[in-house]
């Protein structure tokens, strides 16, 4: 058996709970099972865990059959490459109305991470609790308790076997997703930790903090192996580049700094935002290398585009060797940057309040953002055109976003304490 003792106990409790729920049908079986499984003191919680797991398996089987039917209906070309229909990326436009509303947190939702393989996600809140949800069935599967302050950041490793979290309690934790237990607690920051990210190879974790530092932790030992210093104020957000060679950070000093992870040196300091930088995300450069016009076409005011703070009215192309970077700020703007040159390519200023979160779709063609104006917006990078504005996506500030590429689902969290699950088209 590959199950741990904790997992075996959970299965036995779920089976016993099901037997008890059937009344007198399994009366003798219940008594024998209690003795043999050593659960004489078990008290049913009436969670229906066995039924939930069974229905989840049925749903997954149906999804597999649907996917097999879809693949069968798209014949392969002679060069064994997927057909054009399969290569077309969804635009990731959330469809109104919202698919489901997940209620359970007692404080504002501050962070979301979606599982890389399954229809599971983790949400963190100011109530100090991490909740694991099946967003397909809209059921809360588990609550993880351990932090003593608001949970400020979450991320899964690439396998989905481990979840990392950080908190205002100045600690970061690594959770085993098989046993749902905390296996490591990382301490070393002198103030609240704001964000956490895994390295591409899962060997390191990066955290940023109000103590103005970014730390690199070895996941196998839990030791801090490197500290990056460069910001002059609270470091609010971090992101790792698609090839794993760079790290971007933004903070209350209004700067975005791009770091070379190999040596820990600063590659670029990107200046232009006029308020706190709340979110950063790397995007894949357009495959055709087309120009991104350096102009602010979504501005509600006559703001000028800048390159490291200076005026620029010329067209610029993304460096062929680099991807681009997106940053969202409390100055209500989203900026696109060429990482290698440090050029500010475009300013998108549609939002009416602080921009809290920015995401880039896998192809790099679309940007998804959320704001304190309660909206979620989607932009076309190449055309610099707003594709959709989901106004009043929540009843309060929309604080965080996460995208499940495999399941074509967008998830948003808010100060209204709820998590919204959106089907995309």
Residues 181-190 pLDDT 10s:
999 999 999 9
What integer pLDDT is reported at residue 311 of this predicted model? 35
pLDDT above 80 (res 411) = yes
Q: What is the pLDDT of residue 406?
A: 81
Give one DSSP letter per residue of 350-390, joined into a string: --SS-EEEEEE-TTSSEEEEEETTS-EEEEETTTTEEEEEE
Q: DSSP state, 304?
A: P
**pLDDT confidence of 286, banded at 50, 70, 90?**
low
Higher local confidence (pLDDT), 261 or 43: 261
235 three-class SS: strand
Query: Rounded to whole angstroms, how far apart are CA atoms 94 and 103?
Result: 20
Other beta carbons within 10 angstroms of residue 152's beta carbon come to 27
Cα pseudo-dihedral 187, 190, 195, 196, rounded to 10: -30
Q: Summarize pLDDT for 41-66 with one digit per residue, the tens.
A: 776 666 676 777 777 777 777 777 77
Q: What angle do CA 323, 329, 335 make, to 5 degrees?
A: 35
State the pLDDT confidence band at 24, using cuts at 50, 70 and 90: confident
pLDDT the model gives residue 305: 35
Rounded to whole angstroms, the Cα distance separating 174 from 196 reads 11
User: In angstroms, how far is CA 1 from the centroid of its own chain?
Assistant: 33
Q: What is the pLDDT of residue 112?
A: 98
Instruction: Report the C-alpha gap between 303 and 295 in whole angstroms.
Output: 10
pLDDT for 344: 93
* pLDDT > 60? residue 220: yes
Q: d(Cα 360, Cα 315) in Å, to the nearest integer?
A: 22
Closest to 101 measured CA to CA, from 416, 420, 396: 420
- pLDDT exceeds cutoff 60 at 329: yes
Q: What was the pLDDT predicted at 419?
A: 97
Angle at 341 between CA 338 and CA 344, to 5 degrees: 45
């Amino acid at each position: 058996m590959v199950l741990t003792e904790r997992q075996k106990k959970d299965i036995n409790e779920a089976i016993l709970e099901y037997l008890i729920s059937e009344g007198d049908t399994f009366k003798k079986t219940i008594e024998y099972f209690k003795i043999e499984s050593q659960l004489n003191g078990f008290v049913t919680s009436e969670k229906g865990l066995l039924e939930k797991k069974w229905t989840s398996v049925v749903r997954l089987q149906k999804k597999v059959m649907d996917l097999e039917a879809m693949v069968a209906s798209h014949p392969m070309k002679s060069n064994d490459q997927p057909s054009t229909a399969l290569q077309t990326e969804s635009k990731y436009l959330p469809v109104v109305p919202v698919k489901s509303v997940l209620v359970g947190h007692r404080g504002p939702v501050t962070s979301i991470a979606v599982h890389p393989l399954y229809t599971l996600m983790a949400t963190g809140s100011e109530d100090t609790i991490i909740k694991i949800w099946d967003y397909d069935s809209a059921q809360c599967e588990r609550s993880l308790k351990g932090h003593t302050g608001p949970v400020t950041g979450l991320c899964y490793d690439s396998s989905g076997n481990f979840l990392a979290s950080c908190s205002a309690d100045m600690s970061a934790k690594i959770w085993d997703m098989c046993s749902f237990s905390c296996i490591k607690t990382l301490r070393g920051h002198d103030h609240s930790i704001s964000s956490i990210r895994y390295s591409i190879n899962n060997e390191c974790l990066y955290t940023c903090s109000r103590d103005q530092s970014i730390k690199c932790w070895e996941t196998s030992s839990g030791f801090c192996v490197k500290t990056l210093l460069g910001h002059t104020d609270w470091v609010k957000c971090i992101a790792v580049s698609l090839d794993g060679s760079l790290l971007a950070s933004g903070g209350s000093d209004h700067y975005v700094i791009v770091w070379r992870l190999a040596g820990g040196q600063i590659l670029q300091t990107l200046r232009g935002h006029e308020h706190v930088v709340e979110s950063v995300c790397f995007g894949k450069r357009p495959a055709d290398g087309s120009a991104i016009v350096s102009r602010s076409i979504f501005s509600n005011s006559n703001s000028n585009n800048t390159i490291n703070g200076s005026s620029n009215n010329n067209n610029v192309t993304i460096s062929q060797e680099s991807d681009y970077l997106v940053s969202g700020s409390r100055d209500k703007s989203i900026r696109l940057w060429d990482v290698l040159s440090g050029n500010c390519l475009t300013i998108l200023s549609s939002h009416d309040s602080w921009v809290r979160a920015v995401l880039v779709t896998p192809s790099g063609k679309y940007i998804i953002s959320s704001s304190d104006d309660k909206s979620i917006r989607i932009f076309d990078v190449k055309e610099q055109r707003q594709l959709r504005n989901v106004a009043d996506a929540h009843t309060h500030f929309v604080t965080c976003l996460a995208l499940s590429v495999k399941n074509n689902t967008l998830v948003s969290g808010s100060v209204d304490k709820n998590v919204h699950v959106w089907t995309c088209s």
